[in-house]
Amino acid sequence: MRAWWLLLAAVPLAAQDATQTPAAPETNAASPVTQAEKTITGSVDLGYRWFSGAGGSLDTYRSVVDIGSGVRLLGLDLSLESAAKKYFDRINVRGSGWGGDPYNTAHVDAVRHDWYNFSFDYRNIAYFNFMPSFADPTLGNGIFLNQQSFDTHRRMMDFELDLRPGKWIVPYLAYSHDSGFGTGISDFVSGLNSYPVEDKPRDATANYRGGVRVEMKKFHVMLEQGGTTFKDDQQVFTSTQNFGNNTTPILGQQMFLNDLTQAYGVRGDSIYSKVLLTANPTPWLDVFGEFLYSRPTTNVNYSQFNAGQFADLATLLFYTSELDLVSAAAKQPHTTGTIGFEIRPMKRLRVIESVMTDRLHNASSAAIHQQILPLVFDPSAFSTPGALPIFTDRLVMNYNREQVDALYDLTSRITLRGGYRYEWGDGLTDGMLISGLPTETGQLKRNVGLAGISYRALQKLSFSIDFEGASGDGAYFRTSLQNYEKARIQARYQVRQSLTLAAGFSVLSNQNPDPTVKYDFLSRDNSVSVMWNPNNGKWVTVTGEYTRATLRSDISYIVPQDFTSAQSFYRDNVHDASTLVDLLIPGFGAKGPKLGMGGSLLLSSGSRPTQYYQPIMRLTTPTYKRMNWYGEWRYYGFAEPFYLYEGFRAHLLTLGVRVGL
Amino acid sequence: MRPTDLILRAWPSPLASAPPPPPGTRPSWAGHPRALAIAAAMIFFTRLGIAQTPPSGNQPATYAGSEACQMCHEDIYKAFQKNPHIAVEKDKKRGFETRACESCHGPGSKHVESTSAADIRNPAKLPVAEADRGCLTCHLNQPTQVGRVQSGHARNQVSCVSCHSMHKSAEELVPRRRAAINAECSTCHLSVWASFQRPYKHKLPEGAMSCVDCHNPHGSVLPHSIRTVSANEPGCLNCHGDKRGPFVFEHAPLRLEGCATCHEPHGSANPRMLTRQEVRFVCLECHANTPVTAATSHTLGGVPPSFHDLRSPQFQNCTVCHMKVHGSNVSQELLR
């Protein structure tokens, strides 16, 4: 926040500096950016928002919308042009949502031609999530279990500096920082019970990188070296008696938790390298390649102390306290490489060939020391007998892809495309010791045929069809793409200068016919849109979109408690429409007040029927030369017939002023 | 004249309609006659019978300079002064100093004389590949273009000018404001934008994010043009750093098929953008307890089997206990 206000404070200073600088001699007489021109332009939106309060579930409102009352800097968009061009040519500053909105953003671009490009981006996004139905689908029956919920923020910053942009050799430096913090409710699991406990997640990742781009006429090379550091200091604690979700006594003993402290001390780092190459050694050949390598590692120190009454079901041991210390490490070298070319043997024909490989190997080990204090003191049980101090784990993923495409310009308006892709790979999970978890392997083999056609009948009419059909001999998971067909059709027609129509259709059908899987998936999306802005939107602008999306998924599984076969059905049939009409109110001239009306609605049926309405109305009234007053009303209405207790309704009214500079 | 010159003249490249190099520019093949001869010989035979005759007839047009364009196209000329491509007008190294307009539109002397649209090259009316070649003359070798030929946009003939307005200001050339980026993408990706009207979604309509936060529209090594971070990690981890790992106990789908295995990244009617209405179905569809057959013996997810009694409310949501479902540093069962 302080940085933001400093930045704002600097804006007039920068403008003052520019205006006080004597006009530099004009170097380019043709340039329309004359010295007399304003050096600062843009607008600032300030306003006050009233939140009516949520009718229904405030928790759901906060999980979905989370906009509150108060003074807001709703938007800021400033551009500073330097007349002297001594330190910068132009600085753009943008921001939104300051003053308490759940997402605040700021962005600064500074450019000096031939010298540097600098950009800074800041985002602070609030994540509130407390959805009763998420953790506890049976809540509607009056059964209340604990939640996994959180009220956290993620704060992200990015700095990038390109030196001598546009030159043959461009060095650059960049730094990013991403952190998460807040509070939440988590679970502590012990035996057959789980206890809701307070959780303080706190993590941060920093990314440093630098490199150079060599941009020659016939080739380009980019070399980047970077590194990341990561820390996770999540803490979970409670000091009140907690009977957990399972209040049924076990062998006559009531389980409970009195005290808990869990402290995660996770530290990670990574180095990575990036080499990109493109070249066009001849007019008929383009070559490209990428080599990407990263080697992230993690080191873990975890401690846990819990006191209460617990049961170890494996040994039928009841105990009153437990101390766990874990020291672990993981390493994950990850290499990705791709190489390809586009060759144009004839004027109308292009052939694109590419090969890609992606290899990730995760190896880890953990030393776990567990000490428990039995309910009935038994020295032999004081240190858990049979405890396995060293765990190792492994995950291997090797993925490969080869693809060839041929594109042929049948006419100047029609392009045909055909191609073939072969994907193969393997995956392995290996909990080597221990727990009796066997090694699992997955294999991927997929042959994919590709086809497409693009048709531009006129400059104003375009049409394209894209198709993929695949036959797989293996897939990593039961729900993975195996035997599938995917198609997409898009059309766009500019009927006249002021009227544009667009339509899209896409379908994905995927099957895994194995009798133990019987996976059948089908999704379809159909969309149309219209945009009408006669006289360049001087009086009225209308935009509208409608989408009908359907999804059907069936897959078999075995019910764990009785080993009967069952089907998991999922259906989602959605009508989604959104529209916005901007209208200049008649009788006040071309600079009179404007009325905007519209919003969106979502009606879905199927496995989780949902209705979500978001109408909006906005009135903008010019007052002074560069000032507009505006008022905006929004309504949010949300309902789920299966989870009535999660519905909400809320009104938001905003009054504000936009000042142009 | 060398034989290779004859071959090249008989075979106009896709850039044949591009402007000729400025006077004094050395041809790219100069100094490499042997390599060029080999390459030419390789393609010569494929070209037999389809060689086109070079344009004949009139004297070719020459460069007129940008100021000549300004006379009639004052508005475009003024707007172009704020376009980053104005660098072409001023940069001697690129070979189009004082004739930036003709770097894309070709020599304009005939058009200046006749004012006929037929006498000037209009990239908007060219076949997409040919128009793009004009842009790629300079931009092919750019970091964002490395995977370009693999991208869906390139394959589906979405030209550079579909998204980039060449004559306008820097902001309109490359949309920078998040709302502008989203509006640009949603003109074609209608159903994707509709997904963002669902209750659980990434905050794009609110302006906190844009499509290019997750996708590189010019192409990527990952499917769906997913942006990469830290070399080869999926762009999701740029914000969700706590899911990056590596974890001591990994959950395989995250690494093998990515976040979209369980989440609808654009938006969903299900809490936490899940692909199913309740968590247990997301889990059970892989951890299905089904017997291993020859066809499924190479499928992951059978280990560990699920054994809880799902009739008990306590087990209706797997992630209540298996909290570290994205990967755990402490528990093999992803419990803590």
Q: Answer whether B126 touches A (CB < 8 Å).
A: yes
- Of A139-148, A311-320, B127-136, B215-224, the range with the lowest mean pLDDT is A139-148
Q: Decide if A452 and B67 are in contact by the 8 Å CB cutoff.
A: no
Question: Which chain A residues contact residue B129 at CB under 8 A?
Answer: 350, 407, 409, 415
Q: Decide if A442 and B142 are in contact by the 8 Å CB cutoff.
A: no
Q: What's the gap in Å between the CA of A562 and the closest CA on chain B? A: 8
* Residue predicted with more confidence, B103 or A138: B103
Q: Decide if A442 and B199 are in contact by the 8 Å CB cutoff.
A: no
- Of A95-99, A436-440, A611-615, B326-330, the range with the lowest mean pLDDT is A436-440
Q: What's the gap in Å between the CA of A87 and the closest CA on chain B? A: 18
Whether residue A655 is predicted with pLDDT greater than 90 in this model: the reply is yes
Task: Out of A134, A143, A220, name the one closest to residue B141 (CB).
Answer: A220
Q: C-alpha B86: how far from its chain's center? A: 24
Model confidence over B146-174: pLDDT tens digits? 566 678 888 888 888 888 888 877 777 88
Whether residue A111 is predicted with pLDDT greater than 80 in this model: the reply is yes
Strand partners, A446: A423, A472
Find the Cα–Cα–Cα–Cα dihedral A29, A32, A35, A38, rounded to 10°: 180
Question: H or E segment at A125?
Answer: strand A116-129
Chain A, nearest residue to B223 by Cα? A401
Whether residue A147 is predicted with pLDDT greater than 90 in this model: the reply is no
Q: Decide if B221 and A391 are in contact by the 8 Å CB cutoff.
A: no
Q: Decide if A358 and B305 are in contact by the 8 Å CB cutoff.
A: no
Share of chain A above pLDDT 70, in %: 89
Measured at the CA of A635, the angle between CA A616 and CA A182, to 5 degrees, comes to 115
Query: A587: alpha, beta or left, given left = phi > 0 and alpha = psi -120 to 50?
Result: left
Residue A323 carries which side chain, given as an amino acid letter?
L
Counting every residue, how long is chain B?
336
In order, the DSSP letters of A287-325 are: EEEEEEEE--EEEEEEEEEEEEEEEETTTTEEEEEEEEE
Whether residue B7 is predicted with pLDDT greater than 70 in this model: the reply is no
Is residue A542 within 8 A of residue A531, CB to CB? The reply is: yes
Question: Which chain B residues contact residue A280 at CB under 8 A?
Answer: 140-141
Q: Decide if A148 and B250 are in contact by the 8 Å CB cutoff.
A: no
pLDDT at A20: 37
* Residue written as token pair 């198609």: A487
pLDDT at A424: 95
Question: Which chain A residues contact residue B128 at CB under 8 A?
Answer: 415, 454, 456
Residue B135 carries which side chain, given as an amino acid letter?
C
Q: What's the gap in Å between the CA of A587 and the closest CA on chain B? A: 31
Q: Answer whether B299 touches A (CB < 8 Å).
A: yes
Q: What is the mean pLDDT of residues B63-87?
A: 85
pLDDT at A275: 93
Whether residue A522 is predicted with pLDDT greater than 70 in this model: the reply is yes
Q: What's the gap in Å between the CA of A210 and the closest CA on chain B? A: 11
pLDDT at B51: 36
Question: Which chain B residues contact residue A279 at CB under 8 A?
Answer: 141
Report the SS3 class of residue A69. coil
Q: Decide if B289 and A614 are in contact by the 8 Å CB cutoff.
A: no
pLDDT at B67: 87
Q: Answer whether B95 touches A (CB < 8 Å).
A: no
Mean pLDDT of chain B: 78
Chain B, nearest residue to A531 by Cα? B187
Whether residue A386 is predicted with pLDDT greater than 70 in this model: the reply is no
Residue B2's pLDDT band, with cuts at 50, 70 and 90, is very low
Q: What is the mean pLDDT of residues B301-318?
A: 79
Residue A67's pLDDT band, with cuts at 50, 70 and 90, is very high
**Interface test with chain B among A93, A232, A480, A614, by most B beta carbons within 10 Å:** A480
Q: Decide if A477 and B253 are in contact by the 8 Å CB cutoff.
A: yes
**Interface test with chain B among A28, A107, A278, A501, by most B beta carbons within 10 Å:** A278
* Residue predicted with more confidence, B157 or A136: B157
pLDDT at A193: 85
Report the SS3 class of residue A592. coil
Residue A133's pLDDT band, with cuts at 50, 70 and 90, is confident
Structure token digits, residue A231: 């820390």
pLDDT at B136: 80
Q: Answer whether B227 touches A (CB < 8 Å).
A: no
Residue A277 carries which side chain, given as an amino acid letter?
L
Q: What is the pTM of this model?
A: 0.85
Residue A269's pLDDT band, with cuts at 50, 70 and 90, is very high
pLDDT at A4: 47
pLDDT at A8: 42
pLDDT at A144: 61
Model confidence over A524-547: pLDDT tens digits? 999 999 999 998 888 899 999 999
Q: What's the gap in Å between the CA of B155 and the closest CA on chain A? A: 8
pLDDT at A28: 40
Nearest to A394 by CA among A425, A431, A440: A431
* Residue predicted with more confidence, B40 or B266: B266
Q: Answer whether B48 touches A (CB < 8 Å).
A: no
- Long-range pairs for A419-424: beta carbons < 8 A, 24 or more residues apart: A419/A352, A419/A449, A419/A450, A419/A451, A420/A447, A420/A448, A420/A449, A420/A450, A421/A446, A421/A447, A421/A448, A421/A450, A422/A446, A422/A447, A422/A448, A423/A399, A423/A448, A424/A400
Chain B, nearest residue to A222 by Cα? B143
Residue B71 carries which side chain, given as an amino acid letter?
M
Q: What's the gap in Å between the CA of B78 and the closest CA on chain A? A: 6
Whether residue B104 is predicted with pLDDT greater than 90 in this model: the reply is no
Strand partners, A156: A123, A178
Task: Out of B157, B191, B293, name the one closest to residue A549 (CB).
Answer: B191
ipTM of the prediction greater than 0.85, yes or no = yes
DSSP annotation of B198: S
**Interface test with chain B among A561, A601, A640, by most B beta carbons within 10 Å:** A561
Chain B, nearest residue to A102 by Cα? B208
Q: What is the mean pLDDT of residues B213-225?
A: 88
The C-alpha atoms of residue A118 and residue A96 are separated, in whole angstroms, by: 20
Q: What are phi and psi of A207, to 5 degrees?
A: -130, 125
Question: Which chain B residues contact residue A109 at CB under 8 A?
Answer: 176
- Of A181-190, A325-334, A629-638, B49-58, the range with the lowest mean pLDDT is B49-58
pLDDT at A436: 53
pLDDT at A14: 39
pLDDT at A50: 96
Whether residue A572 is predicted with pLDDT greater than 80 in this model: the reply is yes
pLDDT at A316: 78
Q: Decide if B198 and A166 are in contact by the 8 Å CB cutoff.
A: no
Whether residue B315 is predicted with pLDDT greater than 90 in this model: the reply is no
Question: How many CB contacts within 8 angstroms connect chain A with chain B?
Answer: 465
The C-alpha atoms of residue B90 and residue B96 are separated, in whole angstroms, by: 8
pLDDT at A388: 56
Q: What is the mean pLDDT of residues A49-54?
A: 94
Q: What's the gap in Å between the CA of A16 and the closest CA on chain B? A: 22
Q: What is the mean pLDDT of residues A387-398?
A: 81
Q: Answer whether B256 touches A (CB < 8 Å).
A: yes
pLDDT at B182: 93
Chain B, nearest residue to A505 by Cα? B191
Whether residue A62 is predicted with pLDDT greater than 90 in this model: the reply is yes
Residue B5's pLDDT band, with cuts at 50, 70 and 90, is very low
Q: What's the gap in Å between the CA of A101 and the closest CA on chain B? A: 10
pLDDT at B298: 75
Q: What are phi and psi of B216, to 5 degrees?
A: -105, 105
pLDDT at A145: 61
Chain A, nearest residue to B335 by Cα? A189
Whether residue A81 is predicted with pLDDT greater than 70 in this model: the reply is yes
Residue A38's pLDDT band, with cuts at 50, 70 and 90, is low
Q: C-alpha A605: how far from its chain's center? A: 26
Q: What is the mean pLDDT of residues A471-485?
A: 91
**Interface test with chain B among A77, A440, A459, A518, by most B beta carbons within 10 Å:** A440
Q: Decide if A608 and B270 are in contact by the 8 Å CB cutoff.
A: yes
Counting every residue, how long is chain A?
661
Model confidence over A305-334: pLDDT tens digits? 999 999 887 777 888 999 999 999 999 999
**Interface test with chain B among A134, A162, A188, A636, by most B beta carbons within 10 Å:** A134
Q: Decide if B87 and A113 are in contact by the 8 Å CB cutoff.
A: yes
pLDDT at B124: 77
